[in-house]
A = this chain, B = another copy of it.
Amino acid sequence: MQSDRPTRAAASAASRPVGRGPKVRAAVLAATLTELAETGYAALTVDNVAQRAGVHKTTVYRRWQDRETLVVAALTEHIAADIPIPDTGAVETDLRLLARGLIGWATSPSGRAVLSVMLSDAIRLPEVAEARRHIFEDRVRRAAPVIVRAVERGELPGGTDPAEVVRTLAAPVYFQLLITGEPLDEAAADRAARIALAAARATP
């Protein structure tokens, strides 16, 4: 019993700087994403996450039962990533800005962390696959008004599927990021917008 005390005291002291409740939660989930981005899913340990967050690992295990639960929570927490939803009054400009926002996210530390999990073996876990599905559904849902407004303005055909346009916009961005490794500059965003627009206009 006595030998257990110093550990508990140390844990308590270590967790104090970030406070309790929501602050601890935010710190641990942010640390999880940073660890994911730096070391990848395979090498991720609760120990390293706890150390980076400045809490004892028992603090982590009290909230998340294991590594997988922790990773899913970190992904889910960052679903509503700040990709700005533009409303400039012109669909081409809106789509260009949307593509730039996506590029900004995908090349940011938290975007890279989320992607590294999705591209790792972790995607075989049903919870991670579900988190991935949820992330992209949320993206599409949040970006849909851009397409709806374009249809209302008569810039896109009536009955255009917003989800389809968002997917067509995202595909060239991820292709360059993951497959060809070309730089994701403004020209890449404009190209993605041009493709999505052409495909939407050509759809019967």
Q: Which residues of A contact B (CB under 8 A)?
A: 40, 42, 118-119, 121, 123, 129, 132-133, 136, 167-168, 170-172, 174-175, 178-181, 194-195, 197-199, 201-203
A133 to B179, CA, bound (A): 9
A102 to B159, CA, bound (A): 30
Tell me the nearest residue of chain B to A168, going by C-beta.
Answer: B195
Residues of B with C-beta under 8 A to A202: 194, 197-198, 201-202
A136 to B181, CA, bound (A): 11
Q: A132, A168, A179, A202 — which one has the most chain B CB atoms within 10 A of its CB? A: A179
Instruction: Among B42, B174, B201, B203, point to the contact of A179 (Cβ < 8 A).
Output: B174
Output the least CB separation between A157 and chain B (Å): 12
A203 to B195, CA, bound (A): 9
Q: Do residues A133 and B175 form an inter-chain contact, with CB atoms below 8 A? A: no
Enumerate the 5 nearest inter-chain pairs by beta-carbon distance, A residue then B residue, closest first: A198-B202, A171-B175, A171-B171, A195-B199, A198-B198
Main secondary structure of the interface of A (DSSP, over half): helix
Q: Do residues A167 and B180 form an inter-chain contact, with CB atoms below 8 A? A: yes
Q: Do residues A174 and B167 form an inter-chain contact, with CB atoms below 8 A? A: no
Residues of B with C-beta under 8 A to A175: 167, 170-171, 174-175
Residues of B with C-beta under 8 A to A178: 118-119, 174, 178
Output the least CB separation between A14 and chain B (Å): 31
What are 22 A-B pairs with beta-carbon distances under 8 A? Answer: A40-B42, A40-B121, A42-B42, A119-B178, A123-B181, A132-B179, A132-B180, A132-B181, A133-B181, A167-B175, A167-B180, A168-B195, A170-B179, A171-B171, A171-B172, A171-B174, A174-B174, A178-B178, A194-B202, A195-B199, A198-B201, A199-B199
